């Protein structure tokens, strides 16, 4: 099976712009989570989608949003970019939430999108 | 917050030595997972230990869990240069995980 893919891999934007990142989960996985990783704050949970619905949300401002499509692909959007949004954005997929699947599940991470805000 | 904290923050050892990393967390958990991240890349799942387990092995990895102390340790035996990476513990459920700050391991050849 192909792994989790994220596009683009690198992105440079300026303050005030908006950005959309894309994540394609492993085939058959319907849960997609997003994380932000920065040197100062480490890995922080943004949100999780399952069957096109946001199930969990972290403590990020409303400028961070996401969505999931019927094919489980997910996008996250950041509007009005700030310098502090520069980070590695990681997407992870899993089978969590599928009937008969334990909540003790492994997340498979993509390579990430490196966003630089100038 | 359930966030775990790893200790030490950085560890440098010679190839062939064992590496031990510790993780402490704050609230009750269902399970604890360890991940590895090579520089600037995605995370790779290493091992999951459930709250009712005390020890688990996977190849050269050994994980222990002490729920009374809210701590876990990851032991890598006979380390290799390829083990150089950052290691994170994660707690949570379903797909909302809290990651620790990580231990940066450097294995010198």
pLDDT per residue as tens digits for the range A31-56 = 899 999 998 888 999 999 988 999 88
Q: How confident is the model at residue A103 (pLDDT cuts 50, 70, 90)?
A: low
Average pLDDT of the segment spanning B21-46? 89
Q: What three-state secondary structure class fits B81? A: helix
Residue B57 has pLDDT above 70, yes or no: yes
Is pLDDT at A104 greater than 70 in this prediction? no
Q: Do A92 and B95 touch (CB under 8 A)?
A: yes
**Chain B residues within an 8 Å CB radius of A48:** 94-96
- Answer whether B83's CB lies under 8 Å from B74's CB: no
Determine the distance in angstroms separating the CA of B24 from the nearest CA of chain A, rounded to an integer: 16
Span B64-103, pLDDT tens digits: 999 999 999 999 999 999 999 999 999 876 667 888 889 9
Q: Please indicate whether, in this complex, the C-beta atoms of B42 and A109 are within 8 angstroms of each other.
A: yes
**Residue A52 DSSP one-character state:** T
pLDDT for B95 equals: 65
CB contact under 8 A, A48 and B94: yes
Q: Which residue of B has its CA nearest to A59?
A: B1
Closest Cβ opposite residue A90 in set B30, B42, B45: B42
Residues of chain B contacting residue A35, judged by C-beta atoms under 8 Å apart: 99
CB contact under 8 A, A58 and B97: no
CA A88 – CA A41 distance, rounded (Å) = 12
Using the predicted structure, report yes or no on whether residue A107 has a pLDDT greater than 60.
yes
What region, left, alpha or beta, does residue A51 occupy, with left being phi > 0 and alpha being psi -120 to 50 degrees? left
The residues, ordered by sequence, that sit 6+ positions from A39 with a Cβ below 8 Å of its Cβ are none
Mean pLDDT over residues B19-38, rounded? 91
Q: Which of A33, A42, A56 sits opposite B101 (nearest CB)?
A: A42
């Amino acid at each position: 099976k192909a792994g989790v893919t994220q596009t683009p891999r690198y992105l440079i934007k300026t303050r005030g712009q908006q950005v959309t990142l894309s994540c394609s989960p492993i085939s058959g996985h319907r849960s997609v989570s997003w994380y932000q990783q920065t040197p100062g704050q480490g890995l922080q949970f943004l949100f999780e989608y399952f069957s096109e619905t946001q199930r969990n949300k972290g403590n990020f401002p409303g400028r961070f949003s996401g969505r999931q499509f019927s094919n489980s692909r997910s996008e996250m959007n950041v509007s009005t970019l700030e310098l502090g949004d520069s980070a590695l954005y990681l997407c992870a997929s899993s089978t969590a939430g599928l009937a008969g699947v334990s909540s003790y599940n492994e997340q498979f991470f993509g390579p990430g999108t490196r966003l630089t805000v100038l | 917050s359930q966030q775990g904290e790893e200790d030490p923050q950085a560890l440098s050892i010679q190839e062939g030595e064992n590496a031990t990393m510790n993780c402490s967390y704050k609230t009750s958990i269902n399970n604890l997972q360890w991940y590895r991240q090579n520089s600037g890349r995605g995370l790779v799942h290493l091992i999951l230990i459930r709250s009712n387990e005390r020890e688990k092995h996977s190849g050269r990895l050994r994980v222990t869990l002490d729920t009374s102390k809210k701590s876990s340790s990851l032991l890598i035996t006979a380390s290799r240069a390829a083990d150089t990476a950052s290691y994170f513990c994660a707690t949570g459920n379903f797909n909302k995980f809290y990651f620790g700050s990580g231990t940066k391991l450097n294995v010198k050849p």
